[in-house]
Structure 1
């Protein structure tokens, strides 16, 4: 089963090489066919030149530039339309996600035949390193609200780092989110529409380079919109969108 990694990158010239080097170093120890599909989200720095060098260095690396519209959700959606694997993970370009966690996701999916594998940083075995405390408080409140509204036990829906089989990505379309609210749209739709999933611990490390693209003030209403959309689908659509 081929694994694709979709990685949005906007102005990540400082971190993208190290991120890819770490992934390739980890995957050199296991026998997993994979591709790293990097979406250059119209970067204004030297990201594109770095990607050209990475594609020369590693056969698994492929990249394209998303000319627009731009934004985290648009970039991920661009990659989700073009990856070639049987399953796909969304992974950050800023060294925050561990490739060893991704290998665990993949082996868990294969061994358990799950449709999705979700990570949680807030269960036994999970950890966060250098997480800004304001963001952590907002994260915990947001995930609590999602759990209550959607009546699910999963406690880290906003965690972008997840693995889906290809048929799940097809099954949750149309994907609406243009921004970071995509991180909750994909898993909530997968759960509502009846795809199987399991949760494993994962780690998260704050970026070493650059600045975070997540602007909390701008995202609140957008997360709320997607949450309401998923709530309405779950309780009022009479199962019209459930997998057949």
Structure 2
């Protein structure tokens, strides 16, 4: 396929320190791939200077489209909102990546090129060398086993946030889940297998998050804990219930 218009979509929450470097790196690496590149960043009502940083960057970074969420909704709903905003720009391909900057710009290029060269419905960036706490890696592995049983095949790195979609494919997937889904990418991985989507996997490096905090603010802690924080435990329980209700129970939408 000939790539004319590429859109990067990104949820962000309290990423003021790392976003300028990451967005500049994305633009530098991806701009040569398509005549038009747009960067849609949805700020989930950050409590730091993320909103101001994005609007300041938009004055100098071509194609940057800051979107201010009305209320704080969490990562999953913000990612869905970012996808929908990106679809509204009518691109040839949509690349999703989180705002914490845990990928090399060169690896984003490799996933886009894989999508272009193969014509796949979706390309997953499979993270290698993850430095997340043991319990997050264990949780991902456990979810992977559940998804493999439900989808009938193993899906490497089932919840990876680095994905490149054909617009038609992601539009179908978005219509199959609620807009407030906590773990949209896990639902997508199940649906991609069940629907017979053409999926390609590209190994990518997993970097420490950019900015001064090693853990960010997602789980309500400032440094890497040895045991799962209470907020993460509550999230895991709510996500399991959602997965059963939306994608796993008999008769669930596919």
The separation in 2 between residues aligned to 1:236 and 1:70, in whole angstroms, is 28
The answer to whether the 8 Å contact 2:147/2:154 transfers is: no
The separation in 1 between residues aligned to 2:138 and 2:69, in whole angstroms, is 33
Which residue of the partner structure matches residue 51 of structure 1?
A: 54
The separation in 2 between residues aligned to 1:226 and 1:200, in whole angstroms, is 28
The separation in 1 between residues aligned to 2:150 and 2:16, in whole angstroms, is 39
Change (3 A) 1:146 1:185: same
Q: How far off its partner does 1:29 sit? A: 5.1
* 3-state SS, counterpart of residue 51 of structure 1: helix
The separation in 1 between residues aligned to 2:114 and 2:49, in whole angstroms, is 36
Gap regions ≥5 residues in structure 2:
220-230
Which residue of the partner structure matches residue 220 of structure 1?
A: 236
- 1:62 maps to which of 49, 62, 65: 65
Gap regions ≥5 residues in structure 1:
122-126
Corresponding pairs, count: 232
Change (3 A) 1:168 1:30: closer
Q: TM-score, normalised on structure 2?
A: 0.82
Which residue of the partner structure matches residue 136 of structure 2?
A: 135
* 3-state SS, counterpart of residue 145 of structure 2: helix
Q: TM-score, normalised on structure 1?
A: 0.85
- 2:68 matches 1:75: no
The separation in 2 between residues aligned to 1:79 and 1:46, in whole angstroms, is 19
- 2:40 matches 1:37: yes
The answer to whether the 8 Å contact 2:151/2:193 transfers is: no
- 2:113 maps to which of 104, 107, 119: 107
Which residue of the partner structure matches residue 203 of structure 2?
A: 201
* 3-state SS, counterpart of residue 205 of structure 1: coil
Q: How far off its partner does 1:194 sit? A: 2.9
* 3-state SS, counterpart of residue 42 of structure 2: strand
- Post-superposition CA distance 1:115-169 (Å, at most 9, x none): 1111212xxxxx2253322322232232223223332122211112111111012
